[in-house]
Structure 1
Amino acid sequence: MRREQSQSPCLTDAEPDIISFLPGHVIDHILSLLPIREAVRTSVLASKWRYKWATLPNLVFDNQCVSVTSEDHLVIKKKLLRVIDHVLLLHSGSINKFKLSHRDLIAVTDIDRWILHVCRRSVKELVLEVWKGQRYLIHSCIFSCQSLNHLELFNCWLKPPSTFKGFRNLKSLDLQHVTLTQDVFENLISRCPLLERLTLMNFDGFSHLNISAPKLQFFDIGGKFDDISFENTFQLAVVSIGLYVSFENNERLLGGASNLLKFFVHLPCVKRLEVQSYFLKYLTIGFVPEKLPRPCIDLTYLSIRMNFYDVKEISGALCLLRSSPNLQELEILTRSEEPNVLLAQPYCWEDFYLNFPVMQLRHVRIDGVSDFKAELDFISFLLLYSPVLERMTVKPINLELGLMKELMKELMRFKRASARAELIFLES
């Protein structure tokens, strides 16, 4: 009688190929999480993966897209060029996002070639960060790419052709370390009818910021400029402005006009405002009113960097507080400067208290306190006129341990309108 030979199940049943049977949307998600170099390498995993990377909608070429070894920069740059050329040559899907951000110097001709290619493919998001070398003169093809809804440029020079009519679909514009003329800037902003977000940092070539954008909701700027004005920006809700250069108030040249009034006339819906660096000094040029003609009803967060040696800056900050009846969060950042002659006479807080409305502040942070009387008077004022205050955080600057303890004791003795107000003292 012939004995039947038993066979192990592992010899007859092949293990299922999990990688090959992953759903397409799962493969797409995995590839989207990988650097482009690793995504291309997945083509060897299985036949189903072979050309999947070639349809990736987001192409990001940064320091992770080439292997970092002990090789010199020239070798790394050659690898980068090969990777980008290879991917763009074989890519067969739509390109939603193209980002180039590499620390090595890249030839202008190569950047021009890649930008031209993705613009022809109707790219929607374009991010170009040129970290080394002179500012890159933007290829003219960008200005005819009407598919763009997000444009982000770093270390670039914008010089659109005379035929440029704007970006009709652009919603987000981020310009940092850029060069462009006054006319180019104004035309660029005004000819983007759907623009919702604008970031502008460290620019040159113009000094007057005239912002006209009916859909604008977010505006963040930091740099050196002489003047700023808004027109038709009634939807603007989040504003952060930093003026990086100090100047002497010259009311005679301005005819006594109030920068505070001019600044807020087209900002009726602002919800979050950050007044950074020396911008409060700019706002207090000219007449400083007790309050704005139209209150900032929607403003719930306010951050101000101010000089407590300048009575006009104090008046400007108080004007903003008086004009923000629904303000809930306040941040004060002190700016240390030499004592200003404007503060030769102490600020008359007693008179000021008589007609100041009760505030709705819940959270307050004051950073950079130096035991200066005007700063302490300001803190005392906030505690007295904030009946729903929950937390005030105070952080001193450059104080010895003994002085810090004395300051802490003095702050704890201040009267508070809110029984729930917690006073938190942070060491510098």
Structure 2
Amino acid sequence: MEMDRISGLPNDVTEKILSCLPLREAVRTSVLSSKWRYKSAMLQDLEFDDSSWGRSQNREFDDDDYLEFVNMIDHVLLVHIVPIRKFKLCCTMDVVAARDIDRWITHLSRNSIKELIIMLWEDHGYNIPFSVFSCQGLVHLELLKCLLKPPSTFKGFKSLKSLQLHAVDVTQDVFENLIRCSPLLERLTLRHCDDVTDLNIDAPNLQYLHVLGAFDVVNLESALSITEAEIYMTIHDDQIWLPDSWIPACGSSNLLKIFDHLPHIRRLEIKWRFLKYLSLGSLPEKLNKPCQYLNALSIDISFDDPDAIPTALCLLRSSPALQELEIVMDRRKKLERRHTVVEEVKSSCLDVSYNCTLSQLRLVKITGISGVKAELDFIRFLLLSSPLLERMTITPPRFPEPATVDGFPKLVKELLQFKRESKHAEIILLDP
């Protein structure tokens, strides 16, 4: 008989092969031979996705599919013979009942689980069971469309380093307590968690922050170790005014309040209304504490807003190590503001002094340019202030207005004629 070379491979090699297969297929290898009977039972990372069943064939999930999906997970957990490092479940609540997930999580809580990912695609508000909060070995927790309400005795996750909450029903108090009582937390993602309106982050070891929501307050005073941040800030759908809480006290500045607590920031994305939040208050020419390590910056700018360019310029002047800059033209309608304290007339972008040298800037990407004078002035400033610039990529709007289409050839010609401080600077114009 010809030798079975695959069955003779070392266990770590066969585990690697099985981990590359859909788990459904990996489990089926148990029928190949006696040597393969328990191979899949030694996988440390388990990922179950209902899309690999009937949904991948564009048909409704029937009772047989449900039974096969649930029975397979039960079987895998029952026969598993090594500790489970990672468990990921992606499904809809019409496929799996809450009692099934409760049963699996209870089993995992007794097996020193390190990574737990529960992603549910229906708005049924699955209530995370108390057994999760006993998993003190958890290093990564990711939840989508769940209800997170720990018991009153919960004192935090002592080993948690990464937390991702997507459209999770969690109260302000629970969120803040969860962050504060997870002392090793290094990465935090918070998206569409509507009940969290104050972004108070008390996490001294936090290095990565990604948030998207309608926040009344942004407080990073106790998160001084952040090196990378993506902040998407908006307002509630039914709100036509900027929130009162955004307006700083007389003589103070949101810009300084935020950046005084980002001494180690290296990569930063300022998205949606966050630049408006930063611009409110007394705008300095430079930050009190320069962003010495910031080397990549992405900003959404509305050139209709007279405060936008001064705020952006302040950041540029205060970022001596900046090498990559992305500017995204924000074309959403400018919001009215209620308070006259922030209605003082400031210099338009055309009158602002652009005195600034971006000595390390090498790459610039500008998206959504329509060709208005304020945009062109800003591009001219970047070209004249960047002695080491290598490439500037410019893209018009994806759905341009007729005026943009008609005037684009003229815009191209004008851009190519701009003077450049760098002899090696290249301007590249791309299709949207």
- TM-score scaled by length of structure 2: 0.90
Mean Cα deviation higher: 225-234 or 156-165: 225-234
Could you tell me which residue of structure 1 aligns to residue 340 of structure 2?
Answer: none
Structure 1 195/253 Cα, relative in aligned 2: closer, same or farther at 3 Å?
closer
CA contact (8 A) 1:310 1:340 kept: no
CA contact (8 A) 1:362 1:391 kept: yes
Matches within 5 A, 1:75-86: 75-86=64-75
For 2:82 and 2:52, the matched residues in 1 are separated by 19
Q: Of 421, 429, 432, which residue of structure 2 is paired with 1:425?
A: 429
Could you tell me which residue of structure 1 aligns to residue 285 of structure 2?
Answer: 290
For 1:319 and 1:345, the matched residues in 2 are separated by 14
Could you tell me which residue of structure 2 aligns to residue 376 of structure 1?
Answer: 376
Q: Return the letter of the residue paired with 1:388.
A: L
CA contact (8 A) 1:149 1:169 kept: yes
Matches within 5 A, 1:162-311: 162-245=152-235, 247-248=241-242, 254-256=248-250, 257-311=252-306
1:24 paired with 2:19, answer: no
For 2:345 and 2:145, the matched residues in 1 are separated by 45
Q: Return the letter of the residue paired with 1:389.
A: L
For 2:149 and 2:60, the matched residues in 1 are separated by 37
1:234 CA displacement = 2.3
Matches within 5 A, 1:66-145: 66=53, 72-103=61-92, 105=94, 106-145=96-135
1:23 CA displacement = 2.1
1:357 CA displacement = 3.4
Structure 1 104/178 Cα, relative in aligned 2: closer, same or farther at 3 Å?
closer
Question: How many equivalent pairs are there?
Answer: 414
1:360 CA displacement = 2.1
1:220 CA displacement = 0.6
- TM-score scaled by length of structure 1: 0.91
Q: Return the letter of the residue paired with 2:137.
A: S
1:402 CA displacement = 3.3
For 2:346 and 2:152, the matched residues in 1 are separated by 56
Q: Return the letter of the residue paired with 1:55.
A: M
Could you tell me which residue of structure 2 aligns to residue 391 of structure 1?
Answer: 391
Q: What runs of 5+ residues in structure 1 fail to find an aligned partner?
A: 1-13
1:29-78: per-residue Cα shift (whole Å, max 9, x none)? 11111222111111122221111111211111113554666674333222
For 1:99 and 1:32, the matched residues in 2 are separated by 13
SS in 2 for 1:210: strand
SS in 1 for 2:220: strand
Q: What runs of 5+ residues in structure 2 fail to find an aligned partner?
A: 337-342
Larger Rg: 1
Q: Return the letter of the residue paired with 1:85.
A: D
1:90-141: per-residue Cα shift (whole Å, max 9, x none)? 1121100011102452211111111111011111100001112411111011
Q: Return the letter of the residue paired with 2:320.
A: P
Could you tell me which residue of structure 2 aligns to residue 147 of structure 1?
Answer: 137
SS in 2 for 1:129: strand
Structure 1 360/263 Cα, relative in aligned 2: closer, same or farther at 3 Å?
same
CA contact (8 A) 1:300 1:328 kept: yes
Could you tell me which residue of structure 2 aligns to residue 415 of structure 1?
Answer: 419
For 2:161 and 2:269, the matched residues in 1 are separated by 22
SS in 2 for 1:236: coil
For 2:21 and 2:296, the matched residues in 1 are separated by 38
Structure 1 104/79 Cα, relative in aligned 2: closer, same or farther at 3 Å?
farther
1:200-235: per-residue Cα shift (whole Å, max 9, x none)? 111022200100111111111111111111123222
For 1:251 and 1:112, the matched residues in 2 are separated by 40
For 1:128 and 1:164, the matched residues in 2 are separated by 20
For 2:392 and 2:369, the matched residues in 1 are separated by 13
CA contact (8 A) 1:250 1:285 kept: no
